[in-house]
Structure 1
């Protein structure tokens, strides 16, 4: 049922979309999916390249990752809001926290989505009208799965160093080892 609604949802007269994420594979896939939904996407993998694109042609829509290798995605949000007040901006991040969500909205973001979000979630958020919230995704992850995904991400960021990962997650090293030894929940 939700897919039927998404088929009817199309971007406005200016379908320009800027996708900013340092994960090239993700941003490329998202660009293809958004193109199928009627958007005209451009991609950037850094704050610097995103700011350059915004200055040359401010898009009507943007999806910006919060943490990028060369800086903070909120800089992109602020620059776009300064140049185009009517832009609909979604902040997308793997580090969902209330403080960053509030900061993103204060800087001018329209909505805030936690990864993993698919093209349907992004489209719903970009095209939501007024104060109404978009419908929740059909395929929600369980809380155990979200926790496991977060642990895996931090583990990879720590170059698979269990002790460093445990320190950053404020966990006992052996507890973390047991979690990492298990298969991820569904």
Structure 2
């Protein structure tokens, strides 16, 4: 397969090791991969050469990966975007899909899982609905992230809306998501 017939994939993740490993894996699977470590760098690459596929990390220094999803979708609404995150929440998953992502995967995701996600066109009606409700800790975590999303990532505004001290909110946000 020559370089001109390979689909272009934009990979944006601030974790250098993960980015390099995934870049090699996707290249071996037939993609021409361009990579960036921030939303701004990803937007510049996409403007110069619009990708057919994109893998976007949700949480990076500076702007959120959701900003990049929105920008990529505005550049070309046919770009197949998969969002990856180690901080999965219902609120961010819903926002990513609303902004134009085709799928949302929790890290660590393999190259094959990402390629499968690119091909997903419809939802899965056969997905099992959990019997047990979410734990109180998980509900709190989900609510905090929903309010944070509503306030566009502004910690101070989110703390005021939750009637919580800013430092308490920052401590809660620094924790990894709790299990359901």
How many residue pairs match? The answer is 128
Q: 1:52 aligns with which of 41, 44, 55?
A: 44
Q: 1:78 aligns with which of 70, 77, 84?
A: 70
**Alignment correspondent of 2:132:** none
Aligned CA distance change for structure 1 residues 115 and 81 (closer, same or farther; 3 Å): same
Aligned CA distance change for structure 1 residues 71 and 110 (closer, same or farther; 3 Å): same
When normalised by structure 1's length, the TM-score is 0.63
Q: 1:109 aligns with which of 79, 101, 106?
A: 101
Q: Which runs of 5+ in 1 are unaligned?
A: 1-12, 137-163, 172-186
Provide, for residues 25-82 of structure 1, a one-character-per-residue CA deviation record: whole Å limited to 9, x for no partner: 1011001000111111110001110010111111000000011112111111111111
Aligned CA distance change for structure 1 residues 59 and 126 (closer, same or farther; 3 Å): same
CA RMSD of aligned residues (A): 2.4
Q: 1:131 aligns with which of 122, 128, 131?
A: 122
When normalised by structure 2's length, the TM-score is 0.65
**Alignment correspondent of 1:92:** 84
Runs of 4+ in 1 over 6 A off after TM superposition: none
**Alignment correspondent of 1:23:** 15
Q: Which runs of 5+ in 2 are unaligned?
A: 128-167, 176-180
Matches within 5 A, 1:167-182: 168=172
**Alignment correspondent of 1:62:** 54
Aligned CA distance change for structure 1 residues 169 and 57 (closer, same or farther; 3 Å): closer
Provide, for residues 106-139 of structure 1, a one-character-per-residue CA deviation record: whole Å limited to 9, x for no partner: 11101000111111111111123x3155xx9xxx
Q: Secondary structure at the match of 1:91?
A: strand
Q: Secondary structure at the match of 1:79?
A: helix
